[in-house]
Structure 1
Amino acid sequence: MRTTFIGLGIMGSPMAANLVRAGFDVTGYDVSPGPVERLAALGGKAAGSVPEAVKGADVVITMLPDSPQVEEVAFGADGLLEHGRAGMFHVDMSTVKPETSIRVAQAATIKGIRPLDAPVSGGERGAVDGTLSIMAGGAAEDFTEMRPLLSVLGTTIRHVGPSGAGQTVKAANQLVVGGIFGLVAEAIVLLEASGVDPAGGLDVLAGGLGGSRILELRRHSMVRREFAPGFRIDLHHKDMGIAIAAARRAGVALPLTGVVAQLMAAAKAQGHGSLDHSALLKVIERLNG
């Protein structure tokens, strides 16, 4: 299956590499040449533009930062809808607004291109290990045909509804992840202020009812104040905006989500946007002097 991967960042690079290792014929494109060269060194192919990357592809996967980049790659004069062939799949694994996915899907369908919005959760570690959670919106038959490919990238793979539904589930995921990071940060501050070893305390929490994947993967690095980005504050701040907007459209009140969104906004405003989202700890520390 001739597969094109557009967007070789922190998440996209290891995902594309996993497809190469699984035997897929992968062509990569990114605005930065370095990741493309590294993919080619692994056995993939390099493209210098979107039209070159899309030409002859059976599947085009996009993994881009936000809605404007997805719209540019989809709708631009040199975009995939202009140069993709009828019958091709477009699997957008970016995290964007649900209405962006719906608009792209509608335009793709007119062109005979088969769209799925399939955002992911699991961070850089999940991308490297091929253990991502993938939530897909679109036609059920298209999801079924793409499942073998998606199974190379993730272990929890679900069709959650029509176009845009994957992005709504991802918004729910991000509000939960952000909330847990905020609470873990508060737990660390409480333990340290009380003279209790935070590492030992969080070890206990991780084994109890409060245990979570976040505690499993991030508790020690948070205690050590190591915030190398697996998923940046800048991106999570964007995602919380998507969650708030989705709540408004659905007509529901999500008060805790609102607080988490403000904490993410504070982290970005304090200059922590390039750090991992576990750097919410810096905001809680600053609140406490």
Structure 2
Amino acid sequence: LFGENGVVEGLEPHSDQAKMIVDMSSISPLETRKFSTRLNVLGQEYADAPVSGGDVGAQNATLTIMVGASAAVFARIKPVLDLMGKTVTHVGETGAGQICKVANQIIVSSTIEAVAEALLFASKAGADPEKVRQALLGGFAASRVLEVHGERMIQRNFEPGFRIELHQKDLDIALASASALGVSLPNTATVRELFSACLAHGGAKWDNSAIVKMLEKLANHEIQKHPE
């Protein structure tokens, strides 16, 4: 954005029509606000619009897009975002999109770890993890994570998906932002360390559901599919 041959070098400062810079990466909310300030000084507009939905959402244009921008900027960029996302939400002013993405990653990562613990417990206790999963999907524990990632854990399908190395970077952003705000995120920190363990075992390219492998090592038990 600001480096040599970056986006800013191609802009005309204080032109009649401000350019819309839409940043769809997942980065620090605090840095996002700094970027916005620097661009506003040049007479340009900036919006943060991180996404959730993974590879499948991108391929099918069903992403969830969380936008931080002024109301006027959001109105201008929404038609473009609608082409990529099924759910496009104006969360608030600049930085709010990234704050929402951090919140998303906190929930998703913690839920993936909880699903892994639950299915591992069920398997080692002697129950069929797939039948346990099906039963839970009909109750209050139901979630998209249990549906998708739970099945991957049982089927031993750890192809991305969303790579662990990327998810860990998102949690690094979450923990750094929380530290700057004086907020403790103990469960997020634990999940981040389990992802680090995956990386240590060569799992950078695994799907994030592979976090179950580290819990299996601790339990000395691998989730077993029951014969039909």
Secondary structure at 1:91's aligned position in 2?
strand
**2:82 partner SS:** helix
CA distance in structure 2 between the aligned counterparts of 1:273 and 1:123, rounded to whole angstroms? 16
Q: Distance in 2 between matches of 1:105 and 1:199?
A: 47
Deviation (angstroms), 1:99: 2.3
Residue of structure 2 in register with 1:79 after alignment: 6
Alpha-carbon contact 1:175-1:260 (below 8 Å) kept? no
Matched, 1:247 2:178: yes
**SS of aligned partner of 1:116:** strand
Q: Could you tell me how far apart the structure 2 residues matched to 1:265 and 1:222 are? A: 18
The match for 1:184 among 115, 118, 128 is 115
Q: Distance in 1 between matches of 2:47 and 2:217?
A: 42
CA shift, 1:162, in A, is 2.0
1:11-63 CA distance string (max 9 Å, x none):
xxxxxxxxxxxxxxxxxxxxxxxxxxxxxxxxxxxxxxxxxxxxxxxxxxxxx
Post-superposition offset of 1:121: 0.9
**Structure-1 separation of matches of 2:9 and 2:106:** 35
Q: Residue 86 of structure 2 aligns to a residue in which SS?
A: strand
- SS of the equivalent of 1:90 reads strand
Q: Which residue does the alignment assign to 2:66?
A: 135
Runs of 4+ in 1 over 4 A off after TM superposition: none
Contact 1:168–1:246 (CA under 8 A) maintained in structure 2? no
Distance 2:123 2:95 in 1: 43
Do the aligned residues in 1 keep the contact of 2:116 with 2:150 (CA within 8 Å)?
no
Structure 2 counterpart of 1:112, from 43, 61, 65: 43
Identity percentage over the alignment? 41
* Matched positions, count: 216
User: TM-score with structure 1 length normalisation?
Assistant: 0.71
Query: By how many angstroms is 1:196 displaced?
Result: 1.2
In the superposition, the TM-score normalised over structure 2's length comes to 0.89
Instruction: Supply the RMSD in Å over aligned alpha carbons.
Output: 1.4
Selected match of 2:26 from 91, 95, 99: 95
2:136 corresponds to: 205
1:164 equivalent in structure 2? 95
Q: Which stretches in structure 1 are left out of the alignment for 5+ residues? A: 1-73
Query: Which residue of the other structure, out of 76, 81, 101, is the alignment partner of 1:150?
Result: 81
Distance 1:260 1:140 in 2: 36
Offset, 1:254: 2.0
* Deviation at residue 84 of structure 1 after TM alignment: 3.0
- 8 Å CA contact retained: 2:112, 2:149: no
Do the aligned partners of 1:237 and 1:268 also contact (CA within 8 Å) in 2? no
How far residue 239 of structure 1 moved from its aligned partner, in angstroms, is: 0.8
Q: Give the CA deviation at 1:110.
A: 2.3
1:227 maps to: 158
Pick 1 or 2: higher relative contact order, CA cutoff 8 A, min separation 6: 2
Q: What is the Cα deviation at residue 172 of structure 1?
A: 1.0
Amino acid at match of 1:122: G
